[in-house]
């Protein structure tokens, strides 16, 4: 659900740093990592440094994946370990909670190399897939009314609303822009008179960044900037999934970048309560394989704890400043999830003292409840009960260029990933 890459800080100038990512350098906002120093590795997400990483561990990983031959031998070794650990186990269902894992798994073709008794199912960790139609409609309506310019991440452009998506709205004269970072939306608001509304989607990874943007807007008294908040929280959704007596989940591959913020402790209670082992994983194919090995080992031993495969970025308590930023700016409220219904304490709303930045209040927008499209089985897919191929519309009426349901929209949606990166026959 959340892209992130390690970058090495080469320069710091107040709140802005220059991070080297492989062969390139890119500006990063350092508001959420006040402790960062030149030479540190930081996790970069949407133009913000989210956390200072374990530098030695990052360097070691970069080294492992440096050459093709080395990568291959590391992966082969992992596959061998995985096969060994899986031997003799009854069939297990593991859920990769995070959509970015779904894409990494699909792109690398991991599934084709798993033993027959290990199945991976895609979970609800794709913001595009779980954002309710009514909330998209609010953004579309606002953009069409031309009372404000609606700005968001590229992911949101094609999410179908009940009649139009943002891209189609733009085709009809609505003001819609894509940015890579909310920092760019702030800059637009600072530069122009125009009203700027940022459509804020995403989970705990993105929420602190939006919090930082709102705090910046408050400090600068930017009256023409506001946020349409559609954030969701992962642990309450997992709780809802696991509490379903029909759930057939034997283990969870937990999202590495959400966990970078909330820490692996967030899954402790869930693992124990539902007796389901959890492993927080990074995003290299080798990371994912290793996390599967960790889950299988726990399943073998009959344990239900939390393993942390992604220790180069994830700590027990996560990132203090990022969590604080969320806490300071947002309240936790109940939230609707596409396919999963209303989940208690699973969404964020701006606190009263930031209410002037709440676009829903400012423009008096209200989310209507919109029924799911007929025949779409996203709900079952997001909760791991069905696979995309079980949907009769899959690949026929529902295609990435003409999505029926939300799981086909984002490239990390379970249906889209299954379609675009399908395993080759023969």
Partner 1 sequence: MRQEAGGRRQEAFITLAHGSGGRLAAEFIQRRLAPLFPGLGEMDDAAVLRPKGAGIAFTTDSFVVDPLFFPGGDIGRLAVFGTVNDLAVQGAKPSWLSLAVVAPEGLPLDIFDAVIASVAAAAKETGVSVVTGDTKVVERGGLSGLILNTAGIGEMIPGADLSAARITAGDAIIVSGPIGAHEVAVLSQRHSLGFDKIQSDCAQVACLAGELVGRLKDAVRWMRDPTRGGLATVLNEMAVAAKATIEIVEDQIPIEPAVQNAADILGLDPLYLACEGRFVAVVAGPRAEEALRRLKLRPGGENTAIIGSVTGVDNEHPQVRLNTRFGSRRILRYLAADQQPRIC
Q: Is 120 helix (H, G, I), strand (E, B) or coil?
A: strand
> Cα–Cα distance between 137 and 166 in angstroms, integer?
9
The torsion angles phi and psi of 397, rounded to 5 degrees, stand at -90, -20
Can you tell me which of 45, 149, 232, 323 binds partner 1, judged by CB under 8 A? Answer: 45
- Chain positions 382 to 401 lying near ligand SF4, rule: CB under 6 A, are 388, 391, 393-394, 398
Asked if 283 contacts 259 with a C-beta cutoff of 8 angstroms, the reply is no
Residues 6+ apart with CB under 8 A from 133: 160, 161, 162, 338, 370, 372
Length of the chain: 426
Residues 6+ apart with CB under 8 A from 377: 386, 390, 391, 405
> Cα–Cα distance between 160 and 141 in angstroms, integer?
13
Q: Provide the minimum distance between the beta carbon of 51 and partner 1 in the complex, in angstroms, as a whole number.
A: 16
Q: Which stretch binds ligand SF4 (CB under 6 A): 15-23, 110-118, 197-205, 373-381?
A: 373-381
Interface with partner 1, residue 278, by CB under 8 A: no
415 binds, among ligand SF4, partner 1, none (CB under 5 to 8 A by kind): ligand SF4
- Chain positions 302 to 321 lying near partner 1, rule: CB under 8 A, are none
Residues 6+ apart with CB under 8 A from 371: none
Interface with partner 1, residue 81, by CB under 8 A: no
> Cα–Cα distance between 346 and 334 in angstroms, integer?
5
Interface with partner 1, residue 282, by CB under 8 A: no
Q: What is the contact mask toward partner 1 in residues 346 to 385, using x (rule: CB under 8 A)?
A: ---------------------------xx-----------
Q: Provide the minimum distance between the beta carbon of 23 and partner 1 in the complex, in angstroms, as a whole number.
A: 4
Can you tell me which of 128, 253, 280, 294 binds partner 1, judged by CB under 8 A? Answer: 128
Q: What is the contact mask toward partner 1 in residues 381 to 420, using x (rule: CB under 8 A)?
A: ----------------x-xxxx-x-----xxx---x--xx
Interface with ligand SF4, residue 242, by CB under 6 A: no
Interface with ligand SF4, residue 381, by CB under 6 A: yes
Q: What angle do CA 231, 233, 236 make, to 5 degrees?
A: 145
Can you tell me which of 205, 404, 410, 412 binds ligand SF4, judged by CB under 6 A? Answer: 404
Interface with partner 1, residue 269, by CB under 8 A: no
Interface with ligand SF4, residue 408, by CB under 6 A: yes
Q: Around Cβ 180, how many Cβ atoms within 10 Å?
A: 11
CA distances from 326 to 17, 113, 146 (A): 22, 39, 30
Interface with partner 1, residue 421, by CB under 8 A: yes
Instruction: Find the radius of gyration of the CA atoms of the chain.
Output: 21
CA distances from 341 to 279, 292, 373 (A): 26, 29, 14
402 binds, among partner 1, ligand SF4, none (CB under 5 to 8 A by kind): partner 1
Give the DSSP H or E segment for 216.
helix 207-220
107 binds, among ligand SF4, partner 1, none (CB under 5 to 8 A by kind): partner 1
Interface with partner 1, residue 237, by CB under 8 A: no
Residues that bind ligand SF4 (CB under 6 A): 376-378, 381, 388, 391, 393-394, 398, 404-405, 407-408, 415
């Amino acid at each position: 659900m959340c892209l992130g890459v390690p970058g090495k800080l080469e320069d710091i100038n107040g709140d802005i740093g220059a991070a080297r990512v492989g062969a390139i350098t890119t500006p990063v906002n350092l508001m959420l990592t006040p402790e960062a120093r030149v030479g540190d590795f930081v996790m970069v997400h949407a133009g913000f440094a989210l956390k200072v990483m374990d530098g030695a561990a990052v360097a070691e990983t970069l080294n492992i994946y440096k050459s093709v031959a080395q990568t291959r031998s590391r992966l082969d070794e992992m596959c061998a370990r995985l096969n060994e650990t899986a031997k003799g186990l009854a069939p297990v269902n593991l859920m990769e909670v995070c959509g970015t894992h779904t894409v990494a798994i699909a792109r690398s073709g991991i599934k084709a190399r798993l033993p027959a008794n290990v199945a991976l199912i895609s979970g609800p960790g794709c913001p595009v897939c779980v954002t309710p139609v009514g909330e998209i409609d609010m953004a579309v309506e606002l953009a069409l009314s031309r009372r404000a310019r609606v700005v968001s991440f590229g992911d949101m452009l094609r999410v179908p609303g009940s009649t139009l998506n943002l891209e189609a709205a733009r085709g009809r004269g609505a003001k819609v822009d894509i940015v890579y970072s909310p920092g760019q939306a702030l800059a637009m608001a600072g530069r122009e008179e125009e009203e700027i509304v940022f459509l804020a989607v995403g989970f705990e990874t993105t929420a602190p960044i939006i919090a930082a943007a709102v705090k910046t807007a408050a400090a600068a008294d930017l009256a023409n900037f506001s946020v349409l908040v559609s954030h969701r929280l992962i642990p309450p959704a997992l709780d809802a999934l696991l509490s379903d007596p029909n759930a057939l989940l034997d283990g969870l591959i937990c999202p590495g970048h959400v966990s970078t913020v909330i820490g692996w402790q967030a899954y402790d209670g869930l693992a124990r309560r539902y007796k389901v082992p959890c492993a927080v994983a990074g995003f290299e194919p080798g990371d994912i394989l290793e996390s599967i090995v960790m889950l299988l080992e726990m399943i073998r031993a009959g344990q239900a704890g939390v393993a942390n495969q992604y220790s180069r970025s994830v700590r027990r308590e996560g990132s203090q400043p990022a969590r604080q930023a969320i806490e300071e700016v947002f309240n936790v409220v109940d939230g609707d999830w596409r396919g999963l219904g209303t989940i208690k304490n699973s969404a964020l709303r701006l606190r009263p003292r930031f209410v002037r930045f709440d676009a829903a209040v400012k423009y008096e927008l209200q989310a209507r409840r919109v029924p799911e499209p007929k025949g779409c089985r996203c709900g079952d897919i997001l909760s791991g009960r069905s696979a995309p191929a079980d949907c009769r519309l899959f690949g026929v009426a529902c295609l990435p260029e003409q999505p029926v349901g939300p799981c086909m929209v984002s490239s990390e949606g379970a249906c889209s990933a299954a379609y675009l990166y399908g395993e080759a026959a023969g």
